[in-house]
Structure formats: C-alpha cells, structure tokens
Copies of this chain bind each other. A is one copy, B any other.
C-alpha cells in the first residue's frame, strides 16, 4: 500500500476542488461576509506563499490571537501546509500568561485581531521572538508605536493564489499547538501533528461520533484558540460543509440569530454557552429547527439542560468529552441500538454521561487496586492512548506526571457502566474527600442545576476538622426567581445519602469561570474558603 502521508494541505485542497461553491460565512467587526471555498483556497495559498517569502521555515511557530472567522481559518490551513506550526493563543488569558506562552513557543509572527491589538501594544516589548505583527481587519491599521505591524489584507495581497503546498512533509511533523485552559494551574502546551489532525477529523466524520458531513451548516462556537475549536474547522472544510464563524464578542442573541438565518445544523460549545442560548430561547422566539446536533463538552452537560433542549425545543444534544491533550474528541454519548427502548429517565441519565470511547482510541480506568469494574460504582482515573492523544507537553516538566508508559493520565476521575460508558465524577483535584469517602462535586452540581430556579451551580470543598473536607454549594438563581437554602435541601434530600448533602449554600451573582467558560473551581474555592475564614 502507498504510505499516503496524512497531510492538512490535502484537506483544503479537497474543499477547493470538490466544493468550490460552498461557503464560509464569517462574522467580523464589519458584519457578515461570505467566502466560497474557491476564495478561501486562493487566500490560503496567498497567505502560504507570503509566509514562505517571509522566511518561515519548517516547524517555525506562528501565533494567532483571534476569534472565529475566515482569516483564522486561512491560518489553520496555510501555516501547517507549508510545514510550520499554527499556535492558537487564548486571547482571554492574563497578559502575563500570553507573554509567557508566546516566548515559550518562540512564535516568529503574531496574527492578531484588531480588537485584541491593544494587548500587543501593552506587551510587545516583552515578546522576545516575534518579528512582525499582522493585524486581521477590514479597516485601516490602528495608529501604533509598535514596530513591524502589517495589515493582513495588504500583506497577502501580493501573495500567489496558485502557490503549491509542499508534499514532502512527514505526517508526524508538528502542525498545530494549543495550550490547556488553565483550569487547574498554568496552561500546558500540546503539539498536534498532521497525522493526528487528519485522523481526528476522520473520527469526527464517523456516523457514530459527530457524523460531520458536507450537508452540515456547521457553527463552531467553541473558540478557535481552544483545542482547535474541537477540530470542527478542519473537518468542516475537508468535507465541504458550510461553516458559520460567529466572530468576535458574540452574544446568545447573535448565536440564535445565526442559527435561524443560516439554518445551522451542527454547532459546538461548552455548557455555559448553551445555558446562555437556552435563556435567549426562553425569552424570544427563534426558528432553531435546522439543528441536528448541539455538541456540548468541556465540562459536564447538566442533564436538565439536555432535556430542556430536546423536549422543549426539539434540538438534539450530543454530549462529548475530551481535552486539549486529546485533540479533543475522546468519548461521545450516543445510545447503543439496543438501548433505544430504555424508559425516558434512564435514557437521559445515560445520555448525560460522557459516553463511549470513540473508535481509534484505547482507554483504561485505574483505581486504587488496578482497573475498576464496569459497575458504575468503582471510581478510577481515566487513562487514554491513541493516534490523536498527546505524548508530552511542550517543553514542560509536568509531562512526566501525565504521560506514563504510553498512557495519558487525564486527571479525570470516572465510573464506567456495564455498557462501557464513562461518567466523569470529578477532576482528581476537585473530588471532595469526606470521612474517607469521595463525594462527586459534578453529581451534586447536576442535581442542583436541575432545579427550575437555578441558573448555574458549582460545588467545592472546605476543609473540615472532623470530616477532612465538606461540600459547599454555590448557586446562581435565575433572574426573577428566588430560592431559600431549605428549598434546595428539600429538593436534594431524596436524591443523595445524607453525608453527601452540602454543609451550606452560598447564593452568588455569578460563578467565576475560566477563559473558555468553565467553572473556575480554584478561584471559587478561594472565595468560599475566605468566606468561611478557613
């Protein structure tokens, strides 16, 4: 058989050849623009030729600080297609983190959105390796004292629309780089390869996972600086799907409008996004009947939310689990054919789990005494391996603890039911140890969020002299609703053993979140512990 190196350039080439008329719908600061794949292809080739001319070599890192839009998509393809590495940087990180990350990656160039440019103005003097900044805008360049600043459109204007991508790239060469979300500590860098990106795209296109298809109008809400927007821009382009890019600073209203106007069939994001959308749907009328799948991951999807979307709005939900380290698709929650007749409640219980390992990967769940039983009770850490799983962090000692004997130790604790479906109980770092037993903060959160007055909830521990740790519930009540502690306890009591019940409930305006919208338990724990002065 031919080796047939799996290269990212072949994905954009397929879109250009077979789907030149299909479109990328891109929202920028200046409104919605449409580009055919023919145009995207030409612009990508122009960009690639300019990078080449600029002297970018194999494995050089190219940074991006950008929202989801067509120019970011062009970078996704142009950079790896010439053998360099597209390094997507989380624009919401603290400036000192961003400086650290850019220096650590040794980025040669930074492509930056106009509204993010002030960040460059504030930090550029600390960026040790960056040779130029290319501002992605439809407007005039901002006046600035920063040297070597170019406009993207002007920069690529002289590029070659017929530039030929080199084909002598090894499939295991690095192609992309993302940092983890910094939920548990400093972000860690992960390098993707051409091989891992193409295989991950194939896995997203499988009917039993996400089933990405040419027929999709696919809207990645998850940021392109967060695990490559879960790979959706890659697979969507490859298959010739229509891609809708929601652009900068979108609101739930804007997402609902895009779904209605563009007839979006598939979209992906974290639960906080969907909670926001749900609120919008409850307040205003939209036609969301085009949706065939709302992919939800990044943190546990609350069962109540899944149910409301499906039963009230007839919008099919797809709960998935993954990490920056896993490209990210690792598990997808889909019922097996013989589970379809489960009673509705069990059916939703099952579907709210993180799901079954996707084809192509391997897993182990390891507890104190080896691999756990598939009994939905025994807990253990999830270990993963396979061709789209990282084998190290980028120049970072922490890799030694996470990658051992060919297995990624996810730091996520789960149970497995007899169907092989995993349920994430907690992160190792968030599990609450009370009287020698574990309490799952995720289970408590899910139960609390199922209460109709609750908008969102998070459970963290405080140290306890007698029990070691005890759970505290932090609750945000829906606008216009009220709730007392007793009401909540009455609601929870029938569902949990007594010792699982939180010691207290703190009503809050907002739960602190990470840059990608996950509950930031580090910060919440600090807040709560300060409150109780423990």
A485–chain B nearest beta-carbon distance, Å: 43
**Are B4's CB and A386's CB within 8 A?**
yes
**Stretch of A93-101, A207-215, A276-284, A503-511 on the interface side:** A207-215
Say whether A133 faces chain B, with CB atoms less than 8 Å apart.
Answer: no
Q: Which residues of B contact A205 (CB under 8 A)?
A: 206-208, 359
Per-residue B-contact encoding for A158-198, CB less than 8 Å = 1, 0 else: 00000000000000100000000000000000011101101
Whole-angstrom distance between the alpha carbons of A357 and B239 in the complex? Answer: 11
Whole-angstrom distance between the alpha carbons of A202 and B386 in the complex? Answer: 14
Say whether A58 faces chain B, with CB atoms less than 8 Å apart.
Answer: no
A409–chain B nearest beta-carbon distance, Å: 13
Chain B, Cβ-Cβ closest to A197: B1
Complex partner residue of A18 from B19, B203, B356, B386, CB under 8 angstroms? B356
A433–chain B nearest beta-carbon distance, Å: 31
Q: Which residues of B contact A481 (CB under 8 A)?
A: none
Complex partner residue of A206 from B1, B14, B196, B207, CB under 8 angstroms? B207
**Are A239's CB and B1's CB within 8 A?**
no
Most buried by B among A214, A338, A406: A214
**Are A214's CB and B362's CB within 8 A?**
no
Size of the A side of the interface (Cβ < 8 Å), in residues, is 54
Complex partner residue of A1 from B338, B357, B390, B420, CB under 8 angstroms? B390
A43–chain B nearest beta-carbon distance, Å: 21
**Are B19's CB and A336's CB within 8 A?**
yes
Whole-angstrom distance between the alpha carbons of A21 and B338 in the complex? Answer: 10
Say whether A6 faces chain B, with CB atoms less than 8 Å apart.
Answer: yes
Q: Which residues of B contact A389 (CB under 8 A)?
A: 1-2, 4
**Are A420's CB and B388's CB within 8 A?**
no
Per-residue B-contact encoding for A5-41, CB less than 8 Å = 1, 0 else: 1100010001001110110000000000000000000
Q: Which residues of B contact A215 (CB under 8 A)?
A: 208, 337
**Are A420's CB and B18's CB within 8 A?**
yes
Chain B, Cβ-Cβ closest to A192: B1
Q: Which residues of B contact A360 (CB under 8 A)?
A: 4, 6, 10, 198, 202
Q: Which residues of B contact A238 (CB under 8 A)?
A: 359
Q: Which residues of B contact A196 (CB under 8 A)?
A: 1
Complex partner residue of A420 from B17, B191, B206, B338, CB under 8 angstroms? B17
Chain B, Cβ-Cβ closest to A235: B359
Say whether A3 faces chain B, with CB atoms less than 8 Å apart.
Answer: yes
Whole-angstrom distance between the alpha carbons of A205 and B212 in the complex? Answer: 11
Chain B, Cβ-Cβ closest to A374: B17
Say whether A68 faces chain B, with CB atoms less than 8 Å apart.
Answer: no
Q: Which residues of B contact A199 (CB under 8 A)?
A: 202
**Are B336's CB and A214's CB within 8 A?**
yes
13 A-B residue contacts at CB 8 Å? A1-B192, A1-B327, A1-B391, A2-B385, A2-B391, A4-B387, A6-B360, A6-B387, A10-B360, A21-B338, A198-B360, A238-B359, A240-B336
Additional 6 contacts, C-beta under 8 A, given A202-B359, A208-B239: A2-B391, A14-B359, A198-B360, A205-B206, A206-B207, A207-B207
Q: Please list the 6 inter-chain residue pairs (A to B) with the smallest Cβ-Cβ separation, ordered nearest first.
A: A4-B387, A1-B196, A207-B211, A205-B206, A207-B213, A18-B420
